[in-house]
Structure 1
Amino acid sequence: MHIGVPTERRAYETRVAATPETVKKYVAQGHRVTVQSGAGITASYLDGAFAAAGAEIVDTATAFGADIILKVQSPTETELPLLRRGATLIGILDPFDKDNAAKLAATGVTAFALDSAPRTTRAQSLDVLSSQANIAGYKAVLLAAGLYPRFMPMLMTAAGTVKAARILVLGAGVAGLQAVATAKRLGALIEASDVRPAVKEQIESLGAKFLDVPYETDEEREAASGVGGYARPMPPGWLARQANIVHERAKQADIVITTALIPGRAAPTLISVETVKAMKAGSVIIDLAAGRGPEFEGRPGGNCPLTEVDTVVTKHGVMIAGYTNLASMVPSDASALYARNMLDFLKLILTPAGTLNIDFSDDIIAATLLAKDGELTRKA
């Protein structure tokens, strides 16, 4: 098969969908691999390294003319016409973006959105959301440390003692847990909260205190259990109790990292405007849900309404960072992990002889299939 790897063109995207490591494996399996010139430069993978692994360095049209096209993000408007009817496109395609999904379907490609992979043991090795969220959680803490105008750990010096920073992590999925672990390594005092009671043990095992919001009804307990590994919207009563606890803890925190996302829905508001006003001057919020929250003052917010997309703003003395692609700030390792996810997915659709054989009854294939034969195969 001809496997093509184009350059990513969307803003702030520095990753690449294959690395010399995975290219070498594709070539060993008998595939022809074409990598667009410069595709890996921003991730520190040079054309020479791809060529040494057996890839051909080509132009845009050749990379998009492949049988299988590996992408990080969905093709841009100018790239859509380059897609060949009948080709297979694999990437993070955001199936909840209805307009984009329809445009992809109209090209006639068979499109797989790896961000729809089920949260099952069998799908772990190709779970792109987890591999990239892990990096985002790590980078969130480093960004916070850079913005925070004080030390992170406690320091005892001849000039006096510096207190350790207090960090509040809201949402303890993959990104949140990595944030907890990274902050702990930097010497901070950490509290963390999540709607799912099952993560309490994980939070505490990493050295953080779990903020418990008691459940008062069976409806609350059922919602907290989530579905398919993803969080579900919580009832208003529980949210109100959580908001009160978060408000009080945020007032004491130096850094707040929010990671709460619900697939297909607006991200929940965790840090209100009133809470920001009550926070200490010089505090920092890192909002990993930037641009995906409810609209506020004519623009999308995040887990905090005051968050602005891909920038750092100071509101009421608090610095709020709204970067939407933290994984791309660690592009080399992010690409390496993503490329391995991609390699494992291709094992499901390629035979040992190197031919395409898609089993549409396979649970992972069925969950990730976005478009086929010019039609959407799932509701976006």
Structure 2
Amino acid sequence: MAEPIRIAILKETEEGERRVAATPETVGKFIKLGAEVAVEQGAGDGARMSDAAYAEAGAKVLTGPQALDGADIVLAVRAPDPVVLAGAKPGAWIVAMHDPYQRGERVAAYAKAGFEALAMEFMPRITRAQSMDVLSSQSNLSGYKAVIHSADTFGRAFPMMMTAAGTVSPAKVFVMGVGVAGLQAIATAKRLGAQVSATDVRSATKEQIASLGAKPIFVETVEGIEGEGSGGYATEMSDEYKAAQAELVSEHIAKQDIVITTALIPGRPAPKLISDEQIASMKPGSVIYDLAVVQGGNVEGSKPDEPVEKHGVTIIGYSNTAGHLAADASALYSRNLYNFLSAFWDEEAGKPVLDEEIGDAVRLTQGGAIVNERLRGAE
């Protein structure tokens, strides 16, 4: 019988990253599959998960180098520097969010070191992989938290309030980009009592927006813009559509109290949706939350993790919005990873064996080379 496969969970090293790639719950599940699990001391501290809880679940809680010793699979939220992975087995899987378009040098270093890098953000958006989709689970929380952050910054009430002293009007919230984050932002703003509207380049989202009780704001003068590419992701808008959208948004945005932008295109800088001129048209005290700030931002002048005030409007955007809900984000992310590995668990081999469809989609490096077709196309 083969030796049990060893899984290592590391403490995140990037500044501000409080999430962890496995929880005591998923550690216990991996052990039931027959794996040995080592957790680096303090790995769960940022998500309020103690070393004692991991030990109780059956993991060995060790120092960083000891946790990696002989690891066949390394689980992380953010892909670690290959230098810190000394001690993992040659060919070990590094399962994490690798940010491969922005960190090509690190991907090349994984290849050189002989590791097999598996990028969870490259998970195909197909039915059987839904429970493995880390982008969706983290974006859901990001959309919620963007509204909460915005409400706190706004400094006024969201719902209509009728009092003996007079009526407080509801806040007007406009969501730009109706993917997972945008839909959650709409739902959260509605629950808080705001008057909500939303737009997207994909015409199919009109019904989704309306079903949540928000008003769809769409360009009707430009035909044939579906805006949806493979896997359900938005594609780049045509110049004609951009111009029509800018005009529509300019009219609508001036009446809004809070705007939340969520537009991202994989492998490209975030599209600019809001200009300085449009910001200037908004009422003083308004708030814009840029969820795409890490990829260049949807909003002119937005900066990661640094509030910016322009024309009396506060622009905010965090580089890791989901990480502000570290416990829930870790719970969902770790279940995504467990669902991924357990779906391919070969009982006879005592380890996961990936199939071609999902394996080829998420695998970045193998056998000392970069093998992912999406990365080759980006070269």
TM range (shorter): over 0.9
Match for residue 329 of structure 1? 324
Aligned residue type for 1:11: E
Name the SS of the counterpart of 1:34 in structure 2: strand
User: Counterparts of 1:146 and 1:216 in 2: how far apart (Å)?
Assistant: 37
Name the SS of the counterpart of 2:74 in structure 1: strand
User: Counterparts of 1:325 and 1:81 in 2: how far apart (Å)?
Assistant: 27
Name the SS of the counterpart of 2:293 in structure 1: coil
Name the stretch that deviates more: 259-268 or 209-218: 209-218
Summarize deviations over 1:295-315 as a string: whole Å, max 9, x none. xxxxxxx00021011121211
Name the SS of the counterpart of 2:37 in structure 1: strand
Summarize deviations over 1:24-83 as a string: whole Å, max 9, x none. 111112211000000001101100110100001011112233110001011136525555
Q: Tell me whether 1:120 sits opposite 2:123 in the alignment.
A: no
C-alpha contact (below 8 Å) 2:175/2:198 kept by paired residues? yes
From 11, 18, 23, give the equivalent of 1:14.
Answer: 18
Name the stretch that deviates more: 134-143 or 104-113: 104-113
C-alpha contact (below 8 Å) 2:82/2:110 kept by paired residues? no
C-alpha contact (below 8 Å) 1:31/1:354 kept by paired residues? no
Describe how 1:17-32 pairs up with structure 2 within 5 A: 17-32=21-36
Match for residue 290 of structure 1? 293
Structure 2, unaligned stretches of length 5 or more? Answer: none
Match for residue 76 of structure 1? 81
Aligned residue type for 2:51: D
Summarize deviations over 1:274-326 as a string: whole Å, max 9, x none. 11111110000110000312xxxxxxxx0002101112121111111120111
C-alpha contact (below 8 Å) 1:203/1:210 kept by paired residues? yes
Match for residue 350 of structure 1? 345
- The share of aligned pairs that are identical, in percent, is 47
Match for residue 62 of structure 1? 66
Q: Which runs of 4+ in 1 moved over 6 A?
A: none
Match for residue 93 of structure 1? 98
Equivalenced residue count is: 368
Q: Tell me whether 1:35 sits opposite 2:39 in the alignment.
A: yes
Name the SS of the counterpart of 2:136 in structure 1: helix
User: Counterparts of 2:173 and 2:305 in 1: how far apart (Å)?
Assistant: 22
User: Counterparts of 1:10 and 1:366 in 2: how far apart (Å)?
Assistant: 28
Match for residue 298 of structure 1? none
Summarize deviations over 1:248-267 as a string: whole Å, max 9, x none. 11110000000000000111
Q: Tell me whether 1:144 sits opposite 2:137 in the alignment.
A: no
C-alpha contact (below 8 Å) 1:84/1:107 kept by paired residues? no
Match for residue 305 of structure 1? 300
Q: Tell me whether 1:249 sits opposite 2:252 in the alignment.
A: yes
From 178, 189, 192, give the equivalent of 1:183.
Answer: 189
C-alpha contact (below 8 Å) 1:29/1:354 kept by paired residues? no
From 158, 161, 164, give the equivalent of 1:155.
Answer: 161
Aligned residue type for 1:368: V
C-alpha contact (below 8 Å) 2:275/2:299 kept by paired residues? yes
Match for residue 2 of structure 1? 6
C-alpha contact (below 8 Å) 2:279/2:313 kept by paired residues? yes
Name the SS of the counterpart of 2:259 in structure 1: strand
C-alpha contact (below 8 Å) 2:234/2:265 kept by paired residues? yes
CA RMSD of aligned residues (A): 1.5
Name the stretch that deviates more: 71-80 or 43-52: 71-80
User: Counterparts of 1:130 and 1:210 in 2: how far apart (Å)?
Assistant: 22
Match for residue 204 of structure 1? 210
C-alpha contact (below 8 Å) 2:221/2:244 kept by paired residues? no
Match for residue 367 of structure 2? 373
User: Counterparts of 1:102 and 1:142 in 2: how far apart (Å)?
Assistant: 38
C-alpha contact (below 8 Å) 2:158/2:192 kept by paired residues? yes
Aligned-pair CA distance for 1:350: 2.6
Match for residue 299 of structure 1? none
Match for residue 214 of structure 1? 220
**TM-score normalised by the chain length of structure 1:** 0.94
Match for residue 50 of structure 1? 54
Aligned-pair CA distance for 1:353: 4.1
Structure 1, unaligned stretches of length 5 or more? Answer: 294-301
C-alpha contact (below 8 Å) 2:34/2:350 kept by paired residues? no
Name the SS of the counterpart of 1:15 in structure 2: coil
